[in-house]
Structure 1
Amino acid sequence: MATSLHRELSSPAMLPPPTVQVEDLVRTFDDRTVLRHLDLEIARGEFVVLLGASGCGKSTLLRILADLDRGFTGEVVVPRKRAVAFQAPRLMPWKTVWRNVVLGLPGRPDRERAMAALEEVGIGHRADQWPKVLSGGEAQRASLARALVREPELLLLDEPFAALDALTRMKAQNLVAELWQLHGCAVLLVTHDVEEAVLLADRVLVMEAGVIRHEVAIDLPRPRDVADPAFADLRGRLLGHLGVGHGH
């Protein structure tokens, strides 16, 4: 009988490429198999985006990598230092923004550490506010600060921009690109947005029925221009892999 194995690598000195290694991963809920003998590698510092229709297994895979789901079989190797940001910021309404950022860290709440993270995401001036007064974009920035303050080697992002308006979403995408280049951590982003995938990724993986069906390298220079014909070509290829007509 197959068993699950979730191993962690504890320090950069012990962390040979790849940062993430998944082999023969299977996840079943009752009689429905969501992940089917899935294999995945993510190199140190690589930005990988997962695309796919709802229900294809993207978020299930991310939750397993985050150690939020252990009901799988196969082998999963991830760094010990990892952090997650979800579509909903999940801020505690009874704690100020800076206390939300360091929530769960060992020791006494470190305001200086929280402030550094909040300044990095551009909302240091909101540190002493309550979450209810934040805009959607500010709340998502606070969620990113909470992830980054943990200095992760792997940052897991589960559709973090989906609820934002178009302009705020563009600003958040640019921010994530800047923070990724600054911190150098590996990133796995789950999204439905093909343009977002081409804007941010080193590599895009298209999931279908619990497996990775397609892999597309995005070798465009950064920052990327949506008006670039090469950008449009990659976008069209990905749409085709998703079953949408080229260029639609």
Structure 2
Amino acid sequence: MTATTETQTSETAAVSIRGLSKVFGDRAVIDGLDLDIRPGEFVALLGRSGCGKSTLLRILAGLDSEIDGLATVPRRRAVAFQAPRLMPWKRVWHNVVLGLPGRPDRALAQRYLDEVGLSAKTTVWPKTLSGGEAQRVSLARALVREPELLLLDEPFGALDALTRVKAQQLVADLWARHRCAVLLVTHDVEEALLLADRVLVMDGGVIAHEVTVALPRPRPIDHPTLVRLRTELLGRLGIVEPDRHASVD
């Protein structure tokens, strides 16, 4: 088995995956997968539950090295999960710089908390934060590492609808500012189309389908191109929407 490599292969690929396989018991969750992500590219990954999306993300994050094949990623990478995973006994700023080498740098933490709109929350305890605020702290903790690859595993899944929209816009703004490569794992087709340059569908352990979203941001979800792509992607996911124009007897 070949562990994930931490050396970027070229200036044209932030992520390069060749023949990647991951087996649980006698089941191949990932089965000979190939994928490239360009530097600065925003990619969204869709798929049915259990198709291996989060497994792939964990491999790219270096959290699972029991693989076959080759996955080449940048050394500087960071992950934000659906659960913010903040340490309740450390103040917010300390959570942001947790794990960085050297003495905890409050000024550095403050800089990234400012970026995510939490300037006033630097010294509070995590338990005082709302769900959206805690997720923004998680984003600040990822960005403080100045990643070349940002991995987002359903980061908005536990948020209410309004907070989710605000969090999506924040991620779009942060990506435009930092221009790191992003891989977003999500179940939300509209979210993928609003945020990503390219949307992938994972099925059968491989990338089974992909679409390019060649539209400027911000994108209205009722744009004809997005409506068409949404229908295409839902079909690939096995979801057929009812015909809204069909007559009712």
| Correspondence list, 1:66-145, <5 A | 66-145=61-140
> Over the residues paired in the alignment, what is the CA RMSD in angstroms?
1.2
Task: Say whether 1:166 aligns with 2:161.
Answer: yes
User: 1 CA distance for matches of 2:16 and 2:241?
Assistant: 32
| Superposition deviation, residue 15 in structure 1 | 4.5
User: 2 CA distance for matches of 1:118 and 1:127?
Assistant: 7
User: 1 CA distance for matches of 2:188 and 2:222?
Assistant: 17
| Superposition deviation, residue 33 in structure 1 | 1.1
Amino acid corresponding to residue 5 of structure 2 in structure 1: R
SS of aligned partner of 1:227: coil
Q: Which residue of the partner structure matches residue 53 of structure 2?
A: 58
Distance 1:244 1:4, change over 3 A: same
Distance 1:217 1:246, change over 3 A: farther
Identity %: 65
| Superposition deviation, residue 37 in structure 1 | 0.3
Q: Deviations over 1:109-148 (max 9, x none)?
A: 0001000000000011101000001000000000000000
| Superposition deviation, residue 190 in structure 1 | 0.1
| Superposition deviation, residue 246 in structure 1 | 4.9
Q: Which residue of the partner structure matches residue 9 of structure 1?
A: 7
| Superposition deviation, residue 101 in structure 1 | 0.1
User: 2 CA distance for matches of 1:88 and 1:48?
Assistant: 21
Amino acid corresponding to residue 48 of structure 1 in structure 2: V
Q: Which residue of the partner structure matches residue 176 of structure 1?
A: 171
Q: TM-score, normalised on structure 1?
A: 0.95
Task: Say whether 1:212 aligns with 2:207.
Answer: yes
| Correspondence list, 1:182-201, <5 A | 182-201=177-196
Aligned length: 243
User: 2 CA distance for matches of 1:125 and 1:15?
Assistant: 41
Q: TM-score, normalised on structure 2?
A: 0.95
Contact 1:82/1:155 (8 A) holds in 2: yes
Ranges of 4+ aligned residues in structure 1 off by more than 3 Å: none
Q: Which residue of the partner structure matches residue 224 of structure 2?
A: 229
Q: Deviations over 1:58-91 (max 9, x none)?
A: 0000000000001111001000000000000000
| Superposition deviation, residue 227 in structure 1 | 2.1
SS of aligned partner of 2:167: helix
